[in-house]
Structure 1
Amino acid sequence: MGVAQSHEWMFYEVMWRGWADRARVPYPVPWWAQAAFRRWSDDFDRGTYASKEAAFASNALYRYWHMVGVKDHRQESLIGQAGEIEPVYDKYSLTFFLYDPAAGTLSLPQLAAGGTVEQRIEAPHLPAVVTAFRAPGGAAYEQRTFAAAVGARQRDLAVTRLAVRSPDGRPREGWLCAAVLPAGPSGFQRHDRRGEQITDRRLTFLRYLPDEARVETNSGWGPVFDTPPEHHGVYGNPDFTHDPAAYLLRNPFHDLATGGKLNAALQAQDQVAGLCSAAFAWPFRVAGEEEFTLDARLPVDLYSGADDLAELRATPADALEEAHHAFWAAKLLGQGVQPDLPGPVAHLTDQFRQARAQLLVLSDHGEIHPGPTVYDSFWIRDSSVEATACSLVGDTALAEHQLGTHYPLRFNRGTGRIGPCAEYGFYGGPHEKDDREWDSNGQALWAIGRFDRTRGRDAAFGAKLYTPYVVDAARWLRDNRDGYGLLHSGWSAEHLGERDKPHYWDDLWGIAGLYEAARLAERLGTPETEELWAAYDDLKEATAASVRWVLAEQRRRGEWETYIPTGPGDVGRRDSTMIGAAAYFHPLRLHMGAKLGGDIDRAARYTLDTMYARFVTGGFRHEAAWNAYGPYLTLQLAHAYLLAGDPGRMDALLGWTVAAASPRAEDRAVALGAWNEQHAFPIASDYGEVPHRHWYMGDIPHGWAAAEYLLLVRDILFFEADEDRDPHLYVAPGVRPHWVPDGGTVAVAEAPTLFGAPFGYRLGHDAGERTVTVDVTRAPEGVRFVYPCRFGPVRAATADGRALPVSGDDVRVPAGTGRFTVTYG
């Protein structure tokens, strides 16, 4: 085991001792640290961290929190399970608590014995977190936290507003307190073997400026209070001790619990562990319906000087909150796709709006990043799905900015080499180059082609990028393959397995990307059309031949199940890395027309069933690589089942995933409608299942997961097929019978489509008459419809009053139909 750095060791010891001695002197140990101590294991990811203390300080196991932020701005703020606020790239977190001077009792929302905590999102369309805390037998407060922009330059800040009340109306007195601490919801310091220190929250210097009611944290600005506190105290390590016990005796919580006052110091430093802290107090007295209120502003952008402080304070908190509500209501309730789902599944619409908000907040000047901390960066892979989701739910400008501006910036023009491949023509920044993510060209071409379809001919989006960003990227896929015609070994997505092996995931994306490139060339009438189709055919044939060889070899070895493993180097590997094969259906639609051949199509369908039987326990368990559930992988599998014609399994997987967005553990709201990349077994089971080996937790909210959810709900309502030859739409293909009670309706209006024109319909269900009526409110010209009836066997159908032929449960409706009815038995 490696040696921990001194501050990592000190942080571990202070957190452990503070948690172990919490009954005597309360200390605000964050929820994630408590979760780790709940069943401690010295096993950690030795490939990433040098010591257990480094892994702990990095919070490698329980990366759950809530998030607020401003659309298209760079920095988000995280909210912890006790209402702690952590501006991601600043060096502190802010938390609140209550103190009763008469009784000498300290009530911390981090501790179960300190009172009760409830949290919620203010509304599905409002990225604002409400934390309600009630002290045992005492006062209570409600804390609302949101992000806003102020001033002419529209710089960011997080705003938190507190209101203290008496729960029973009886007179209550006490202190509302705020504490500035180094550790936040995301951890203390991420320090790994690669030298990455993405988050370093050490507070080596802390100062309170009473004339400005402002806190300085290291060299930056901390919180600014609208009302100056009456009491304050700042704590550090003045004698440079290396004794962890000293930190537990020299802090505001110890002083309040044992002496009833703060030290009144204005400044402190800690050059040993970076564990400076401070507390501020506002005495209150409330009775009846009275409230004591406090507003605090946390600078997120760079602010400096008196003019910036004046600008930060200039807009009243009421006005900031009103503007926040108005913006998000207009954006998420007034613009874009608005799924109208009946009562039993109305929560799906709420989650839809939350997922849209998360992607908008995770967009940094047009780049959608898959997370707010460790994943706060731009990946071609994630962004291709995220941009496509945005384009199909109505956030078209964001998708266009990402694909039209930021993708060309990732197109490499150099003449060097990236491993075995040419640099020129490859889409990728540091992530894609360093990890040999060979899927990125297929993803870029796929996303560009799909968006060109959605925007329509008049927008000419694809024409603007065709040379060199489409044609030369397609040539890169043609020219940079191994001796078997497949893409080289790499690590395109960490859920696929080892980076020293090839993965069919890359080839499937390459096929889909080349298909879209060739179709775009056809639409533009360019001379490269035949060349691109030849490249598509070549990769398709090589991939199909390889898959056939693998299937034959597995049969020769006596495998009784049919499955496509992660790649040709993994013959007989029957583990959860085969989830990459789900991409054959979603999002790539290679099953439409059985593009790799009927035998490969059947094998892909059998692979779905093998995965479901072996790796689904509610959600998709990915024990081969992550040792955790995979929310976005579960959504991919659900979507694959939708497209493969099994909406029952789709519904079951969707139900688990929606529940996984709002888990509770020991009666705490661990997340509020958001997903990690990995959902830990302990949290999924309320600590009923704690693995004996380490696992890895990705960021939350996870942008790729949010995008997968949007795409799935949208395709449940309708999806396109055969856009180039016999264009048609599947209407309500994933709507389950128990979703729509008698008199219930399902509707969507003005939804973008891959046909370049919007679509809308309203479906009504009359259970007594066993009839479904669909009114088409808007449709692309020349596009027919297919309605897969899920209520029962089809007995009769009409289109605008004319009888339709009935054969099976897929009702085929002519283009131009305004209303069709289906009677089932």
Structure 2
Amino acid sequence: MAQTHEWMFYEVMWRGWAGRGQVPYPVPWWAQQAFRRWSDDFDTGTYESKEAAFASNALYRYWHMVGVKDHRQESLIGQAGEIEPVYDKYCLSFFLHDPATGTLRLPQLPDGGSVEQRMEAPHLPVVLTTFRTPEGVEFVQRTFATPVGARQRDLVVSRVSVSSPTGQPREGLLCAAVMPAGPSGFQRHDRNGRQVTDRRLTYLRHLPDEQRVETNSGWGPVFDTPPEQYGVYGNPDSSFDPDAYLAHSPFHDLVTGGKLNGALDAQDQVAGLCSAVFAWPFRVTADEVFELDVRLPVDLYAGADDLAELKGTPATELESANRDFWAAKLLGQGLQPQLPSPVTHLTDLFRQSRSQLLILSDHGEIHPGPTVYDSFWIRDSSVEATACSLVGDSALAEHQLGTHYPLRFNRGDGRIGPCAEYGFYGGPHEKDDREWDSNGQALWAIGRFDRTTGRQAAFGAKLYVPYVRDAARWLRDNRDGHGLLHSGWSAEHLGERDKPHYWDDLWGLAGLYEAARLAERIDAPEVPEFWAAFDDLKRATGDSIRWVLAEQRARGAWETYIPTGPADVGRLDSTMIGTAAYFHPLRLHMGSKLGEEVDRAARLTLDTMYAHFVTGGFRHEAAWNAYGPYLTLQLAHAYLLAGDPARMDALLGWTVGAGFPRTADRVAALGAWNEQHAFPIASDFAEVPYRPWYMGDIPHGWAAAEYLLLIRDILFFEADEDRDPHLYIAPGIRPHWVPANEQVAVKAAPTLFGDPFGYRLAHDPAGRTVTVDITEAPDGVRFVYPCRFGRVRAASADGRELEVTGQDVRVPAGTERFTVSYE
């Protein structure tokens, strides 16, 4: 049964949307999508009522994000420019009013005018929202987050400028609305009670002397310029009639009377739907612009001194400092990919993904999302930290792996289900859901980072005892009677939690491999012990997979595929995506670590998945009933490493498009991915599932990390680091990416060999030649260039002819320039 506030919120939104031809009401984009194709079916396993599901925005979790690197709280930006500080209980938005006619222009509504949104620049987390009314008035809203004052506390600044694009005189009111519901929803209240985001506004107050708003017990917006009009609205009669909220509202008063109620405070103990509007008169003509700056204190502020510090720095200085910081960080530091004009958007998205991971880092912990995933997982963070280290954000990776991983290392002597507590990496997520992949992930990430930072840094040696040694022993000692990891729910995309999943075993193998190699690098005595544990898990995993393949053949299966686990023989559904990890990120195919039969089956599993579950992107109907952006990137990466760049390119192209979905007249996201991309949004409602779907967070840190890793490996990747170290140069560069007189280039790229790498590739289509200049490279590392432009005819390195034996041109270590001719 719906709680009162959930029912009331649903009714107010529905009636406000359905009666929008009378008094306009700012119904958020996500609510409009729900009403656009309403269904009474909802996820009854999570929510008690349709109103609870609606109030928590269970279906359309799309928005934009701004934030400060390494600070705790992010702020979300809605499709009409609404600003929602994640942990504060209000949302701020802007609109226009003409007192002469009573016309109200809300950017949330299609008939209010046109809305355009973009990021100011790919490396700048600044959201620009431009709103144009039919009367020829325009406002541009620039929203960014920045630290302020001596204590560098977090602040969001929204700078709004009103103008007349035609130059004709225009006047009216610029209005700012403070409302409870924002881009993420109203209140997330599920059956478990574990994920609660309560945005109810039960008390709202305007403090004119301080030029700020008080929301419940917290601070709301602070205005640089005091408003000329204001009004605060609540539910003074404790009415249970939804229409009372629409009739007693600032929007109704502006339309019917042309002014606000002038109240300073209000409360609503029924539904928590207090609201307020503040208004500034403007008159613009020719080149005149009216400007307003509003500050949102999203850190901890209290008292007059904090208010003075919050307001002390002019907004222009804050904006300039924010621009300088991100330009220095993303344009001047770390891996700098240069891609030709047909695919420069890939470089732009690369920089944007870097900024998202830096913003999602909370004091060194990278969290997978800003709202329901604003927490620390070993699984997600292992990929995120590795991505950061390989694109140049090594300080963040070191802080995460060196400080926060040891804090998740369990030292107790109890039990977690069938497994020992001591030696297990994990907090509440991993322990409650039996996420047995986490030890392999932690060891893998620590080992890869130790390679990247080099012997001199001795990162792995500092963590070896107990964090590597005892975590590896946990993998050795905590397996089932078949030698596999126990049943659990390591990743929700794999299937049921009461079954074992090969995903866990593949990660365990990768973790033990890195632990053994790290032990070799530091001459630890456990080298034979770790290799024995690796071999034992390798035997058990290989035997199990071969048994499953034989069982499926015996049952008449004509397609070869490795299902999600040994308890799922014959299960041909999208949970088999876990096998993609065999290639990426684990590289178990290099050297066929599980044997040729398993290696061949893993390659065929990619093709089976592509045939059944790819429609542009990877469709994960078995668990999510939605597209999986980060799973699509994993599959693309697996195809890159398996030697099929054409399918990699197709999957990458879909994923890039999924980062900018559009419905009707709105762009739902600006270069970011949810964990799940809803079929209705992906198809502009041409496809609406018959059953509920799951919707995670956005931006999704794991997806951003996958994109960084894929673009980096398209440019180059390492192989056989321990025996015959070599680099593949431009393995994913497609012929149509490189027109004549354009280059592919990499600068200052960290590598698993501990030293940076860089190169320039030029393509001469007329001469049918490719020339590569190596600008920096690790010592003793040879190169492989898999030519994608045509059949290799000849090759030379520093003027010396090379033997040609196929498409992979082998280039000696130390080469400064090589040239390849093709037919």
Q: Which amino acid aligns with 1:24?
A: Q
Q: Deviations over 1:193-235 (max 9, x none)?
A: 0113531100000000111111000000000000000000000
Q: Secondary structure at 2:772's aligned position in 1? A: strand
Q: Which amino acid aligns with 1:85?
A: I
Kindly indicate whether residue 579 of structure 2 is the aligned counterpart of residue 601 of structure 1. Answer: no
Q: Secondary structure at 1:570's aligned position in 2? A: coil
Q: Deviations over 1:786-813 (max 9, x none)?
A: 0000000000000100000001100000
Aligned twin of 1:641: 639
Q: State the alpha-carbon separation in 2 of the partners of residues 115 and 767 from structure 1.
A: 48
Query: Superposed, which structure 2 residues align to 1:175-324 within 5 Å?
Result: 175-324=173-322
Aligned twin of 2:719: 721
Aligned twin of 2:396: 398
Native 8 Å contact 1:207 1:267 kept in 2: yes
Native 8 Å contact 2:110 2:665 kept in 1: no
Query: Superposed, which structure 2 residues align to 1:75-224 within 5 Å?
Result: 75-224=73-222
Aligned twin of 1:451: 449
Kindly indicate whether residue 343 of structure 2 is the aligned counterpart of residue 345 of structure 1. Answer: yes
Q: State the alpha-carbon separation in 1 of the partners of residues 23 and 194 from structure 2.
A: 35
Native 8 Å contact 2:136 2:166 kept in 1: no
Aligned twin of 2:821: 823
Aligned twin of 1:527: 525
Aligned twin of 1:410: 408
Q: State the alpha-carbon separation in 2 of the partners of residues 330 and 197 from structure 1.
A: 37
Q: CA deviation at 1:667?
A: 2.2
Kindly indicate whether residue 33 of structure 2 is the aligned counterpart of residue 35 of structure 1. Answer: yes
Q: CA deviation at 1:692?
A: 1.5
Q: State the alpha-carbon separation in 2 of the partners of residues 258 and 443 from structure 1.
A: 61
Q: Which amino acid aligns with 1:302?
A: L
Native 8 Å contact 1:772 1:822 kept in 2: yes
Q: Secondary structure at 1:78's aligned position in 2? A: strand
Aligned twin of 1:765: 763
Q: Which amino acid aligns with 1:420?
A: P
Q: CA deviation at 1:742?
A: 1.3
Aligned counterpart for 1:705 among listed residues 703, 726, 751: 703
Q: Which amino acid aligns with 2:540?
A: A
Aligned twin of 2:583: 585
Q: Deviations over 1:380-434 (max 9, x none)?
A: 0000000000000000100000000000000000000000000000000000000
Q: Deviations over 1:498-540 (max 9, x none)?
A: 0000000000000000000000000111111000000000001
RMSD value, Cα:
0.5
Q: State the alpha-carbon separation in 1 of the partners of residues 615 and 61 from structure 2.
A: 22
Kindly indicate whether residue 489 of structure 2 is the aligned counterpart of residue 467 of structure 1. Answer: no
Q: State the alpha-carbon separation in 2 of the partners of residues 62 and 391 from structure 1.
A: 32
Q: CA deviation at 1:152?
A: 1.2
Q: CA deviation at 1:743?
A: 1.6
Q: State the alpha-carbon separation in 2 of the partners of residues 747 and 573 from structure 1.
A: 44
Q: Deviations over 1:130-188 (max 9, x none)?
A: 00001112311000000011111111110000000002000001000000000000000
Which structure 1 residue ranges, 4+ long, deviate > 3 Å from structure 2? none
Q: Deviations over 1:50-72 (max 9, x none)?
A: 11111000000000000000000
Aligned twin of 1:780: 778
Aligned counterpart for 1:556 among listed residues 538, 546, 554: 554
Q: State the alpha-carbon separation in 2 of the partners of residues 689 and 168 from structure 1.
A: 41
Q: State the alpha-carbon separation in 2 of the partners of residues 347 and 810 from structure 1.
A: 28
**Structure 2 unaligned residues grouped into runs of 5+:** none
- Greater Cα offset, 752-761 or 189-198: 189-198
Q: State the alpha-carbon separation in 2 of the partners of residues 185 and 289 from structure 1.
A: 34
Native 8 Å contact 2:250 2:260 kept in 1: yes
The alignment's TM-score, normalised by the length of structure 2, stands at 1.00
Q: Which amino acid aligns with 1:233?
A: G
Native 8 Å contact 1:564 1:603 kept in 2: yes
Q: Which amino acid aligns with 1:377?
A: S
Native 8 Å contact 1:189 1:197 kept in 2: no
Q: State the alpha-carbon separation in 2 of the partners of residues 140 and 690 from structure 1.
A: 35
Q: State the alpha-carbon separation in 2 of the partners of residues 373 and 613 from structure 1.
A: 35
Q: State the alpha-carbon separation in 2 of the partners of residues 197 and 184 from structure 1.
A: 17
The alignment's TM-score, normalised by the length of structure 1, stands at 0.99
Q: CA deviation at 1:732?
A: 0.3
Q: Which amino acid aligns with 2:638?
A: A
Aligned twin of 2:383: 385
Q: State the alpha-carbon separation in 1 of the partners of residues 504 and 759 from structure 2.
A: 37
Q: State the alpha-carbon separation in 2 of the partners of residues 593 and 697 from structure 1.
A: 38
Q: State the alpha-carbon separation in 1 of the partners of residues 68 and 279 from structure 2.
A: 29
Query: Superposed, which structure 2 residues align to 1:495-510 within 5 Å?
Result: 495-510=493-508
Native 8 Å contact 2:787 2:809 kept in 1: yes
Aligned twin of 2:11: 13
Q: State the alpha-carbon separation in 1 of the partners of residues 438 and 71 from structure 2.
A: 25
Q: State the alpha-carbon separation in 2 of the partners of residues 171 and 696 from structure 1.
A: 49
Aligned twin of 2:729: 731
Q: State the alpha-carbon separation in 1 of the partners of residues 793 and 136 from structure 2.
A: 65
Q: State the alpha-carbon separation in 1 of the partners of residues 418 and 40 from structure 2.
A: 39
Q: State the alpha-carbon separation in 2 of the partners of residues 203 and 103 from structure 1.
A: 31
Q: Deviations over 1:362-394 (max 9, x none)?
A: 000000000000000000000000000000000
Q: Which amino acid aligns with 2:6?
A: E
Native 8 Å contact 1:190 1:196 kept in 2: no
Q: State the alpha-carbon separation in 2 of the partners of residues 300 and 513 from structure 1.
A: 39
Q: State the alpha-carbon separation in 2 of the partners of residues 638 and 264 from structure 1.
A: 58
Q: State the alpha-carbon separation in 1 of the partners of residues 748 and 50 from structure 2.
A: 53
Q: CA deviation at 1:326?
A: 0.3
Q: State the alpha-carbon separation in 2 of the partners of residues 610 and 250 from structure 1.
A: 59
- Greater Cα offset, 254-263 or 221-230: 254-263
Q: Secondary structure at 1:391's aligned position in 2? A: helix
Percent of matched pairs sharing the same residue? 82
**Structure 1 unaligned residues grouped into runs of 5+:** none
Aligned counterpart for 2:754 among listed residues 753, 756, 759: 756
Q: State the alpha-carbon separation in 2 of the partners of residues 511 and 549 from structure 1.
A: 19
Aligned twin of 2:655: 657
Q: Which amino acid aligns with 2:216?
A: N
Native 8 Å contact 1:585 1:644 kept in 2: yes
Q: State the alpha-carbon separation in 2 of the partners of residues 246 and 498 from structure 1.
A: 46
Q: Which amino acid aligns with 2:450?
A: D
Native 8 Å contact 1:743 1:767 kept in 2: no
Aligned counterpart for 2:363 among listed residues 365, 372, 378: 365
Kindly indicate whether residue 804 of structure 2 is the aligned counterpart of residue 802 of structure 1. Answer: no
Q: Which amino acid aligns with 2:377?
A: W
Kindly indicate whether residue 789 of structure 2 is the aligned counterpart of residue 791 of structure 1. Answer: yes
